[in-house]
Structure 1
Amino acid sequence: MTLRVTNTLSGEREAFEPQDPDAVTLYYCGLTTSDPPHLGHARGWVHVDVMHRWLSWLGYDVHHVENFTDVNEKIVARVGEVGGSEADVARTYIQDVIRDMRSLNLKRAEVYPRVSEHVPEIIDLVETLIDRGYAYEANGSVYFDVTAFEDYGELSNQTVEELDAQGDPDERGEKRHPQDFALWKAGGVDPADIGAHRHADAAPAEDACQTAQTWDSPWGEGRPGWHIECSAMSMTHLGETIDIHVGGQDLVFPHHENEVAQSEAATGDRFANYWLHVGLLETGEEKMSSSLGNFATVEDAIAEYGLGVVRTFLLSTAYHSRAAYTEETLSEATKRFETLERGYERAVEAADSVDATAKTTDDALRDAVETVREAIPRAMNDDFNTREALAALVEFTSAVNRHVDEFETHDYRGLRRAIDVYDEFAVGVLGLPLGDGGGDTGDIRLAEDLVELVLDVRAQERDAGNYERADELRDELAALGVEVQDSDDGPTYRLP
């Protein structure tokens, strides 16, 4: 059965054919590191994780790249809250993202590139666009000329004439066309640009903007535009044409439209063959958003509901559909996960009991195994339909429970095959933490508590002037793989 995906570029469900029959390149637009990660972010992460897992199940070597946007006005707006500079704020929230990715049992990407480490590639790409006649310099900034790219608007199904102006109003006097977008921005960050994003306890806007990162370029000191970053990072690590580009539905325009234009203008080749967009997570009538303040953080959700329920909730709606964060949907996810968890446990207990025999046969259980082994690949090959895959597992669990309840002696072979189904699909593909197969995250919360306890002791030793002992504690943590970084706002750490 062939994998079929809904391609935003064509608007059609298409058979998936990677460039290399043995490998897939997959890029996901990562988080702008200006706020704690919330369940809206986690929805994209978990669905991309399952895409990665399913492509691996199909036999592909998956080259998965996801970026961190660590250069952005929203990050500058947080200076004084969680760090003393744009770079400090980004580092703090990148640490939060890594922690939450591990707590969600995500498979690791091949690499997590950051904007700040790819500025040379960004500058090279901008120079190429100027040389090819698709971009122009104005007062130290560089803009992409949307009228020079014939296919502009193809991804979002718009024409240039239908589009509103892009960018800040102050830029419009420099641009040839209101719809042109910035590839490189002259100077640093203007205090007026962060006003709407600042919190009450942030540093004064002028002070915060003094910490914004800038780089030298052929057009003068400045910062990269938002859209050019993903093109440069993607092409650096995955080549000029990628198989699958994933992102939120709210990024189709302008971000992904502009990625297409600048990438294809620079190379002359198709940038991404398949564009997959994850539906928004809504709370009430609005999307879950850091700017609206209507979010539940990943950390709080897992602490309250547990990993299994959170992943089940996020996968209970197909990735391309909008999902609702409500008490009802969380209750449904709780019941669904508990059903799967208990079914798995009962299958293991029965298979390991003295009542499991070599000659007991339950044809209904064995038929259920064969049925679910057909149903899940059919669902997953239908545009990664996790909703149907979960439904198939829940229905399969009914057959497991019936066998355990009704048979005095148990069908060992049937139960072993049932356990294999849970391990292969519930754990291996959907990433659910059943039994001992829930990933290598361990008890992250306990590990964090222990590290913070050691850091508290270390701080007490430093306050008492026992610097040698404080250094020893840091070295002991390092020996365990825990990286500690000291800053003016206190130590931060990264678990192995």
Structure 2
Amino acid sequence: MTLSVTNTLTGEREEFEPRNDDEVLLYVCGLTVSDDAHLGHARLWAHADVMHRWLEHEGYDVRHVENFTDVNEKIVARIGEDDFGGDESEVAEHFTSHVIRDMRGLNLKRAEVYPRVSEHVPDIIDLVETLVERGYAYESNGSVYFDVTAFEDYGKLSNQRLDEIETQGPEDERSEKRHPADFALWKAGAVAPEDVAEHRHADLPAVEDPCGQTWESPWGEGRPGWHVECSAMSMTHLDDTLDIHVGGRDLVFPHHENEIAQSEAATGQQFARYWLHVGLLQTAGDKMSSSLGNFLTVDDALDQYGVDVVRTFYLSTAYRSEQTFGEKEMREAEERWERLDRAYEAAVDACDSTDAYAKAEDETFRGALAETRTQFREAMNDDFNVREAMAALLELATAVNRHVDDHDAYDYWALRESVEAFEELGGDVFGLSFGAVTDDDGTVTLAEELVELVLDVREAERDAGNYERADDLRDDLEALGIEIQDSDDGPTYRFG
């Protein structure tokens, strides 16, 4: 069975065929770094990660790019808060470092590159210039807008007619635009105080003057529009045509619709062959959202549940479906993870015991093992159906336990194959950490005092100006699976 995916662009299930037989260009819409990441953001990351892992498992060379949006009025709104620094770039740096820490804590495979908007402004300006030259965009009072009436296929992703689309952008843009649905590619000047006010915390003083980073452009000093950023970054690091574009379902319109319009208008090529949209994470009937305040940060979730329980939670629901977060759901995830891990340990112990024999054969066990691999592959090739793939792994856990409980002479071959199946399918594909020594709350148990001693030595080396030696110590710790995060308050660490 070959991989098939549900393409938002066509609304149909399609057989996956990348442009190049052995390579997949995968772009993931990343986070606007204006706050700590929460479990809603991490749901997108986890599913994109499993997609990446499965494509590699199937033999593809995956070129995975995921951006950080570090230029945004929500970031500007955080200027002046404690420990965040005094300008937009410092606020963005603060939260970007937290996002990277959370990604590593979730055991995500690293993308090929994590481009930031601030380092791609020249690429953005080049793209906007191309759109103006080709007649798809126009300048107005130092800003540049995309002319939606010039792009014949506008609305094809979200299945909307142009005359049904409401005004895009803030109210102050309306007098500058030819059509209410036209959207900003470049905004003149800095961020206006009124665009910051709705995102600014109530205990902070109001912003009275325009602020935020600006850049020189052919239309004057200004800032890039939100939508054009992903087009410029993805085409810079991948190609004019992507194989898979992944994002949250709430981004279909206007963000992804606008990405298609500006990219295809500029290049004349299809922007993305397959659009895969991840359903939202719900809590108490609403989507988990920073603006609603109904969220659990990734950092807190990892501390409370452990990475394997969090990943198992996400693996209980297919990416396209909505998912509910709550204590009941997390308890169920913990039970599933413990069931898998206990079965893995039972298989390892039995395989390495003197009761495992070369000529012992349990045909029922071997049949269940073969069925696990078949069902897992069929599920993953069925639009990355992690729910059914997880069910197959749980059936293997049952088969292992039944064999160990019911036999005095163990089938060594089947046990060894089961261990490899857990490590390959559950570990390499699902990103679970089989075989890790954990304590009661699911965090990896190592010699914390020793790690802290090494960090003390590293800090002493840095204070003495021995930065190369300090970097070597950091690299040595990371090679052992210990992620180090430096901050103004000193280094912190997490066991990966």
Q: Same fold (TM over 0.5)?
A: yes
| Alignment correspondent of 2:200 | 198
The answer to whether the aligner puts 1:58 opposite 2:83 as a matched pair is no
- How far apart are 1:471 and its partner, in Å? 3.6
Q: Deviations over 1:131-155 (max 9, x none)?
A: 0000000000000000000000000
Indicate if the aligned counterparts of 1:79 and 1:202 stay in contact, CA closer than 8 A: no
Runs of 4+ in 1 over 6 A off after TM superposition: 441-445, 482-487, 491-496
Distance 1:299 1:366, change over 3 A: same
Task: Provide closer, same or farther for how the CA distance between residues 389 and 469 of structure 1 changes in structure 2, counting only shifts above 3 A.
Answer: closer
Tell me the SS of whatever aligns to 1:205. Answer: coil
Shift of 1:486: 9.2
Q: Using the TM superposition, give the Cα deviation of residue 474 of structure 1 relative to its aligned residue in structure 2, in angstroms.
A: 5.7
TM-fit CA distance, 1:361: 1.1
Query: For each residue in 1:338-377, what CA deviation from the matched residue of structure 2 results, as whole angstroms up to 9, or x when unmatched?
Result: 1000000000000011111112111111111110110000
The answer (yes or no) to whether the contact 1:454–1:473 under 8 Å persists in 2 is no
Q: Secondary structure at the match of 1:481?
A: helix
CA offsets, 1:445-487, max 9 Å, x none? 95998399749x96xx9xxxxxx97244766432323799999
User: Hey, what's the Cα distance between the residues in 2 that align with 1:109 and 1:351?
Assistant: 36
Secondary structure, aligned partner of 2:78: coil
State how far apart, in whole Å, the 2-side matches of 1:88 and 1:336 are. Answer: 41
Tell me, in whole angstroms, the C-alpha distance in 2 between the residues paired with 1:45 and 1:388: 20
CA 1:226–1:95: 2 relative to 1, 3 Å: same
Aligned to 2:295: 295
Partner of 1:311: 311
- Matching residue of 2:18: 18
Deviations 1:103-126 (A, max 9, x none): 111111000000000000000000
Tell me the equivalent position of 1:384.
384
Matched, 1:341 2:334: no
The 8 Å contact of residues 197 and 206 in structure 2, kept in 1 or not, is answered as: no
Contact 2:360 2:412 in 1 (8 A): yes
Alignment partner for residue 184 of structure 2, among 182, 185, 194? 182
2:393 and 2:180 mapped to 1: Cα distance? 52
Deviation at 1:428, TM superposition (A): 0.8
Quote the Cα distance in structure 2 between the aligned partners of 1:357 and 1:300: 46
What is the alpha-carbon distance in structure 2 between the residues aligned to residue 350 and residue 479 of structure 1?
A: 40
Distance between the aligned counterparts of 2:394 and 2:329, measured in 1? Answer: 16
Amino acid corresponding to residue 80 of structure 1 in structure 2 = G
Residues 436 and 444 of structure 2 are in contact (CA less than 8 Å); yes or no, is this contact kept in structure 1? Answer: no
Query: Aligned equivalents of 2:427 and 2:486: distance in 1?
Result: 38
Give me the whole-angstrom Cα distance separating, in 2, the residues matched to 1:390 and 1:201. 46
Q: How many residues align?
A: 482
Structure 2 residue 112 is matched with structure 1 residue 110: yes
Query: Cα 1:471–1:215, aligned 2, differ >3 Å: closer, same or farther?
Result: farther
Letter in 2 for 1:369: L
| Contact 1:423–1:437 under 8 Å retained in 2 | no
The answer as to 2:443 corresponding to 1:450 is no
Residue ranges of structure 1 left out of the alignment (5+ in a row): 462-467
**Deviating more after overlay: 350-359 vs 120-129:** 350-359
CA distance in structure 2 between the aligned counterparts of 1:6 and 1:78, rounded to whole angstroms? 38
Name which of 173, 180, 187 aligns with 2:175. Answer: 173
AA aligned to 1:225 is G
SS at match of 1:30: strand
Distance 1:414 1:2 in 2: 27
Q: Which residue of 1 aligns with 2:87?
A: 85
Give yes or no for contact 1:132–1:266 (8 Å, CA) kept in 2.
Answer: yes
Preserved CA contact (<8 Å) 1:145 1:180: yes
Aligned CA distance change for structure 1 residues 328 and 485 (closer, same or farther; 3 Å)? closer
Between the aligned partners of 1:345 and 1:154, the Cα distance in structure 2 is: 51
* 1:230 corresponds to: 230
CA distance in 2, matches of 1:368, 1:55: 25
SS at match of 2:282: strand
Is 191-200 or 87-96 further displaced after alignment?
191-200
The two structures have a TM-score, normalised by structure 2, of: 0.92
* Structure 2 unaligned spans of 5+: 476-482
Partner of 1:98: 100
The answer on 1:477 being equivalent to 2:470 is: yes
Partner of 2:40: 40
- Distance of 1:235 and 1:452 partners within structure 2: 42
1:59-458 pair list within 5 angstroms: 59-81=59-81, 82-202=84-204, 204-206=206-208, 209-210=210-211, 212-435=212-435, 450=452, 454=456
Quote how far apart the aligned CAs of 1:315 are: 1.4
Please tell me the residue identity of whatever aligns with 1:470: D
Q: Aligned in 2, Cα 1:351/1:490: closer, same or farther, shift over 3 Å?
A: closer
After superposing the two structures, state which structure 1 stretch, 357-366 or 253-262, moved more: 357-366
3-state SS, counterpart of residue 157 of structure 1: coil
Once residues 145 and 258 of structure 2 are traced to their aligned partners in structure 1, the CA distance between those partners, rounded to angstroms, is: 11
Do 1:245 and 1:275's aligned partners in 2 also have CA atoms closer than 8 Å?
yes
RMSD: 2.7
Q: Distance in 2 between matches of 1:131 and 1:248?
A: 32
Q: Which residue is equivalent to 2:480?
A: none
Deviation at 1:84, TM superposition (A): 1.6
Distance 1:477 1:350 in 2: 43
